Amino acid sequence: MTTQTLAETTYREAVREAMREAMRRDDSVFLMGEDVGRYGGGFGVSLGLLEEFGEERVRDAPLSESAFVGAGIGAALGGMRPIVEVMTVNFVMLAMDQIVNTAAALLHMSGGQFSVPLVIRMTTGGGRQLAAQHSHSLENWFAHVPGLRVLAPATIEDARYMLWPALEDPDPVVIVEHGSLYNAKGVEPSADAHVDIEHALVRRPGDDVTLVTYGGSLGLVLEAAERLAAEGVEAEVVDLRVLRPLDSATVAASVRRTHRAVVVDEGWRTLGMSSEVAARIMEDCFYELDAPVGRVCSREVPIPYAKHLEDAALPSVERVLQAVHEAVGRDG
């Protein structure tokens, strides 16, 4: 009797394979961005795609985010399905006019005549000693904007299978990929896996407290949940996955079971994703709560370069444990 060895892959390879499959599947899909061609992408995600699909469909863009995001919008209006890669979320500020004032608003401003089927991928998050201008988590900016869909794949399966439904969406989709996840290893997802771009998912069941998170924070939250289990506290972990439109129903259903909630968000605490999630929990579950909603976020500083300072600025397992202990009425 032989046992089948499951193939191993990485988050980076999953994103690459998602783009490869989409480009093979639909000739109108193409990739554009800084260094995506000969260099293979700033994080090596597009390595090999130029050789397979050629310069017409893997297009190196000049260092002007406004220009190439705008070109992507024009291509989408012309019937193409562009995947535009912005190297980091910090750089996307140079294209905010194109994304917020044009891509997100055009369907509304044209009276429903013009859709913009554009996918914009970008790296987000800290933890890699890349200093303030390459390490922030600004995805809440996009989640604030009507007309955009915002996805935050935290697993290899989501990284592999969220892209195609995003490309099928007639409206613009922003996909934020946490930089710390690219090297993450795991089993290659099944070819018949189904991933939607509508719902949050419960990644770990529990009865005592709900931990809500997304993206690069999912791993540390799952680690915290395992440590809490050793203490006799069973935490339910909800991965938001979709930041806009936010799946409040899944979060609320979990909180109604556990009666306590802690939101973990690598963005800053002030006016961030954690603020919105906490507000919705209070709106939907106020009379179900046995404790105030806790939040664990990045410190209110530009993300430092020095490793010990960066670690102190970002959410950690220890900070999650402390927040849960406060929610369940235990000493840290």
Tally of CA atoms within 13 A in the half-sphere of 307 that contains its CB: 0
| Structural contact between residues 142 and 99, judged by C-beta atoms closer than 8 angstroms | yes
Angle at 282 between CA 136 and CA 276, to 5 degrees: 20
The catalytic site residues sit at 65, 134
Dist. CA 296–CA 277, nearest whole Å: 12
What ranges make up the beta strands (E) of 13-101?
29-33, 58-60, 81-88
Instruction: Enter the DSSP assignment of 94.
Output: G
Task: Compute the residue count for the chain.
Answer: 332
Burial class (CB in 10 A: 0-12, 13-18, 19+), 38: exposed
Phi, psi of 3 (to 5 degrees): -105, 140
Residue in this structure with the two tokens 């995805």, named with its chain if needed = 139
Do residues 44 and 56 make contact, with C-beta atoms less than 8 angstroms apart?
Answer: no
Q: What does the block give as tokens for 291?
A: 């404790």
